[in-house]
Amino acid sequence: MSQSQAQSVSVSKTINSKERITMFDKTMRKLQELAESRVKELNVPAEDQVQRVRVYLARNNHLVTKQLDSIPFQKCLFKHIAPLSELLEVAIDPKLLQVSKEQTREDVLCNRLKLEQYLQQIEFQGKTYYPAGSTGSLKESRMWFATDKVRDIIHSFFKDSESAGTYLGILLSQGWEGEFTCNAVTVYDETTGDGMGYIRKSFANSKGIYAQSQIRILDIDHRSCGKGTVLIINDQLFSQLFGQDKDVAINPTLCKTESKVFENCIVSVRAVAKYRPMKSSFQVLQHLTPEGLDKLIPSIDAHLNDIFENLSDKQKAVDKLKVRLVEEDTALLADTKLSMLLLSNLPVNHPWVSNRLLNLWVKEIHDIALGGNLEFMSGMAAYDPSLPSGQVRFRNGSVFLNAMDSSEYLFSDYDGDLIPFVLDKEAKVAVITRYPIVQGTAILKLKIVGDIPSELPSSPLAVEVLSNHIKKLAHVSSPETRKKRTPLDCLLSVLLSGTTGSGIGGSTLALSAAIAHGKDDLTRELTLYSQEDVLSFKHNVNRQAMVRPWEVLKELESPAWFGVNPQKLSDFQIVDYPGTVSKCWNHVCSRIASAMSSLETTRKPLSEFRGLIPIPKTFSRKQFIRIYETYKKYCSYVTTAIASKDEDALNRVIKATEMIGMGMSETDVALAWHIAHLGNKGIGAFPIHLGINQLIRLLGHPEINVPILKLVTNNPDPQLTLKGFENTYQKNIDICLRKLFAA
């Protein structure tokens, strides 16, 4: 445990604080080590890394700053304005702003006052940094500080400090899909078009853009910058609308600075539209009629058949998972330990692996039962007046429809914030719903007249528009007084309160620490504030679209079955409840019941797996007894937690076991393996929770080949030079690094 962690533990009860820290360190340490080793291997220069610090409460009850490891940050527009050394990312210890048993609400308020005072400026490595704003979503925002000179540069772009903080993400967003320069940009008339940006097809393709994309654009000389979505249109039409000498056209609404002049521009591509599967999509499923659900049944059955095949032939399923782990963009499963053990070739019929795989597929079945296996697109909408009313066209991740179809239902403003859902690819039927999805939103069923791609890949770079959508809607009105050039350090109270810019989709100014925990009292306070705007939006939509909220919500009166968290297939039971969601649930339950007889559920005896790891050649009796006593307590606590169905208690046992295993050797873990596998009634997960990294080395795989990568195996040139990031595989490496750091 580091010194900063030890100091931060002292302000609260030791056990709970250590558990939190240990759980994070243990589950993520391997990924951090891999990421750090890749940074060193790739020789990421210091000028391409951003410095980070954490503010926490020391034992003397004073706030102090601890330096964290720098991270690669070379894909942002900020680098063209000033060196990254002039920028500082500041994290706040989440315990400071978290109400808990050890810390009252008064303690949190006191900490907030201390933070407001402490964060007026930060001295770090001989430089003074001042608040510059925050970026990201409410759940994952980052707070940024900059030197006084750089803060003046930022102010030269934006009309006031509030705007500088709100739109700071334009300069700091990572352009994972590429970056290019463009000298042929025009800002077209605000009354023309739908508020989107447009890009000439030939020019876009030459830059590697083949679908609707989210971009950031910067003109340093004229202090202009903007962000938005650009649509690809053919060269002839683009020339007719915007001239033959232009390649990019943007609407003034996309410009976030006072200056709207763009000449010598740098364009950063943040994300490209792709199809995505939609999870927990009952928000849309509840609107469908029984006839509409019938159209979904074939795709639901096909997906269930794949899952049942996985359950009956686990080895074949695991072979597929390994390919996914090594070759696909979605490199790591949510279950990190399972990912590591699958790559270490632990037999698939080991009870722990078999159980974790079952949990993986049960969760997938649960998503289908509540969401109908719907799919949506990450791109936004644009309007095509030539399309007949009631029809929609999909093209390169974008959806096009007649503007009247949306205006009648208050679907969208000029940004085109719509999400299309594919109901039936065969009959080409889709529904369009307005983003953000809230209960009572408007919805329209349309006929697809364009082509739907046969492949529906999931991209981690696409915007997560549906995860934790209520929290992402948490929106607090902007400060009542917006003074020109308000010093950003005077807005610290606003930053710590999580205030955002105007509009539901406004960029957040919230600190990540203030809302880092779902049960945080401050988060609940923010949510209460947010309901005013969310309810206002819902009321307006309901009034315009003739949607009655009580009819929309009648299925969601918290029926007992709806909140169940299935752990095994037998937890899926048919219910007697009206509505489309319950009908979909019952269909999945009936399919499970009919398939149960053919699924392999026999548990292999643990003793069969003892031989995977040799008995240590030397160990003491005292060493054996110490581990055996730990194992007995582990079994007792786990059995009690499972019997009482107390998931929190089970998590506490696992965290405590991980903490105990922090200082253990490979000999200790090898003994733990043999102790846990001596009898067939033991718990084989004990050595996995005690020391996952030592266990994998004992299984004969000293290095985990977490998916870097397909690019290495596919590279025809064995002399892969990465110096200066000049090779063609830079993008793949950057994506991998990003995933490792994000994890």
Whether 535 contacts 441, CB under 8 Å:
no
> Within a domain: residue 323?
yes
What is the predicted pLDDT for the residue at 275?
A: 52
Residue-averaged pLDDT of the chain: 66
Same domain, residue pair 26 and 135: yes
Q: According to the per-residue pLDDT averaged within each range, which of 237-246, 325-334, 369-378 is highest?
A: 237-246
- How many domains in the chain? 5
What is the model's pTM? Answer: 0.49
Amino acid in the structure at residue 168 = L
**What are the beta bridge partners of residue 147?**
129
> Within a domain: residue 654?
yes
Same domain, residue pair 34 and 113: yes
Q: How far is CA 370 from CA 336, 434, 537, 580, 594, in A?
A: 25, 20, 26, 10, 19
Same domain, residue pair 283 and 312: yes
Identify the weakest region by mean pLDDT among 72-86, 376-390, 458-472, 521-535.
458-472
- The continuous run of DSSP H or E covering 130 comes out as strand 127-135
Same domain, residue pair 317 and 441: no
**What are the beta bridge partners of residue 124?**
127
Same domain, residue pair 208 and 316: no
> Within a domain: residue 245?
yes
Query: For residue 128, what pLDDT band results from cuts at 50, 70 and 90?
Result: very high
Identify the weakest region by mean pLDDT among 69-83, 100-114, 257-271, 552-566.
552-566
Least Cα distance to 127 among 87, 176, 173 occurs for: 87
Helices (H), 43-140: 105-118
What range defines the domain where residue 563 resides? 279-373+553-606
Same domain, residue pair 406 and 428: yes
Same domain, residue pair 152 and 13: yes
**pLDDT > 80? residue 65:** yes
Q: According to the per-residue pLDDT averaged within each range, which of 248-252, 270-274, 381-385, 648-652 is highest?
A: 248-252
| pLDDT single digits (tens) 543-557 | 333 333 333 334 444
Least Cα distance to 436 among 458, 457, 413, 402 occurs for: 413
> Within a domain: residue 712?
no
Same domain, residue pair 385 and 365: no
| CATH for 252 | 2.40.40.20
> Within a domain: residue 533?
no
Q: How far is CA 576 from CA 293, 369, 579, 585, in A?
A: 17, 15, 10, 11
> Within a domain: residue 172?
no
**pLDDT > 50? residue 54:** yes
Average pLDDT (262-283) is 68
State the Cα–Cα distance between residues 217 and 269, nearest whole angstrom: 9
What is the predicted pLDDT for the residue at 304?
A: 92
Same domain, residue pair 451 and 484: no
What is the predicted pLDDT for the residue at 501?
A: 30
| pLDDT single digits (tens) 277-330 | 444 344 556 656 676 677 778 888 988 998 888 888 888 877 777 666 555 444
**What are the beta bridge partners of residue 63?**
57
Give phi and psi for 523, each to the nearest 5: -65, -40
> Within a domain: residue 671?
yes
Token duo for residue 386: 């030539």
Boundary of a domain, candidates 210, 237, 272: 272
Q: According to the per-residue pLDDT averaged within each range, which of 19-33, 142-156, 337-351, 537-551 is highest?
A: 142-156
State the Cα–Cα distance between residues 687 and 694, nearest whole angstrom: 9
* CB-based burial label for 574 (10 Å; 0-12, 13-18, 19+): middle
State the Cα–Cα distance between residues 449 and 173, nearest whole angstrom: 35
What is the predicted pLDDT for the residue at 467?
A: 27
Query: For residue 416, what pLDDT band results from cuts at 50, 70 and 90?
Result: very low
Token duo for residue 515: 């809302």
Same domain, residue pair 321 and 220: no
Same domain, residue pair 299 and 184: no
Query: For residue 532, what pLDDT band results from cuts at 50, 70 and 90?
Result: very low
N- to C-terminal Cα separation, the chain:
20
Boundary of a domain, candidates 272, 287, 321: 272
State the Cα–Cα distance between residues 499 and 138, nearest whole angstrom: 9
Helix/strand/coil for 329: coil
Boundary of a domain, candidates 606, 622, 644: 606
> Within a domain: residue 466?
no
Same domain, residue pair 332 and 286: yes
